[in-house]
Amino acid sequence: MNTFKFTLLILLTTFLMGSSFAVGKIGLSYSTPLLLAALRFTLAGLLMAVIVIALKRPHPESKRNWIKMLIIGTFQTAGVMGCIFLSLRTITASESSILTFTNPLLVVLFGTVFLQTRYKLYQWIGVLLGLVGVSITMGTQIEFKIGILFGILSAVFWAISTLLVKKWGLFFDTWVLSAYQMFFGGLLLLLSSFILEKPVFILNGNSLFILLWLSIMSSIVQFAVWYYLLQKGDPGKTSAFLFLAPFFGVLSGWLLLGETLYPSIIVGGLFIIIGVYLVNRNFQQKNNQVKRAL
């Protein structure tokens, strides 16, 4: 893949990832948080399910594997996205995106503790820098907001789902897994909405546009582009650019919502961006290429 095409696609997918926080916060003007998340992912999952069925992608044959997809959807979609939309009620889109995208740092911590995975020194340096960034970003809060807890929980659920996908992912077609985990997670969010809140969705042109943008552009298109890059290029190189997502989250919060860019958010965000880059970057491959050249 040529550099121009790779750059264009990586900017598109990380922009869609990051900007969804600001768009989601705008959507809360028309809907309760869990219902908006439920509608987004039920619709996205349903559309993707139709696509994978039409393309005759291989589906799980055992009940156990369907249950595994349900578990992944519980953490990845219901847990992560439910917490994100709940966090947006009380904290800014910038803060929510920064907290959520600390998940690669938690993957290192959880992978070490629960799976005995061994990581490189530079990845642990990335974790340390990320934690410092979170402390700087949130350390200036005068009062604790419940949205901070939901933002942290979204990162925790995302890290858990990442480890589950690493463990079980070989059992599934990637596109089938994505479709059904979104659909199952969306249904769980819909159930949670009716249990935990009084669901409201004000249907008009603006709310419909926001819902379709979140469902199609920020879910289906974003996922399709991201996995296209992972499959066609170097996964290590591609994953390293995940640090752009919180950058676009902060930028879109400022542009779309007029959120103030406090020095603590800028400095803390930079630490987290560098930390995420180090955690995801595969320097080992580059070192091996240099050794072969010598």
Arithmetic mean of pLDDT, 56-76:
95
The answer on pLDDT for 201 being more than 90 is yes
% of the chain at pLDDT higher than 70: 91
The predicted model gives 120-125 an average pLDDT of 87
Average pLDDT over residues 117-142: 78
Spatial separation of the C-alpha atoms in residues 94 and 112, rounded to whole Å:
29
pLDDT digits (tens, 9 = 90+) for 9-33: 989 999 999 999 999 999 999 999 9
Chain segment 132-180, per-residue pLDDT in tens: 887 777 665 545 678 889 999 999 999 999 889 888 988 899 899 999 9
According to the 3-state scheme, what is the secondary structure of 203-214? Answer: CCHHHHHHHHHH
Residue 58 CA to residue 197 CA, distance in Å, equals: 37
H helices of the chain, in order, are: 3-27, 33-54, 63-73, 80-87, 93-100, 103-115, 121-139, 146-168, 174-196, 205-212, 222-232, 235-240, 244-257, 263-280, 283-293
For the record, the structure tokens of 21 come out as 């926080």
Q: Judge whether residue 234 has pLDDT over 80.
A: no
Whether 288 shows a pLDDT value over 80: the answer reads no
Q: What's the pLDDT score for residue 104?
A: 81
More confident call, 209 vs 107:
209
Looking at residue 243, its pLDDT comes to 76
pTM of the predicted structure, to 2 decimals: 0.86
- What sign does the dihedral 232-234-237-242 (CA atoms) show? positive
Query: In degrees, to the nearest 5, what angle opens at C-alpha 68 toward C-alphas 37 and 105?
Result: 65
Per residue in 237-281, pLDDT (tens digit) is: 677 777 788 888 888 999 999 988 778 778 888 888 888 888 877
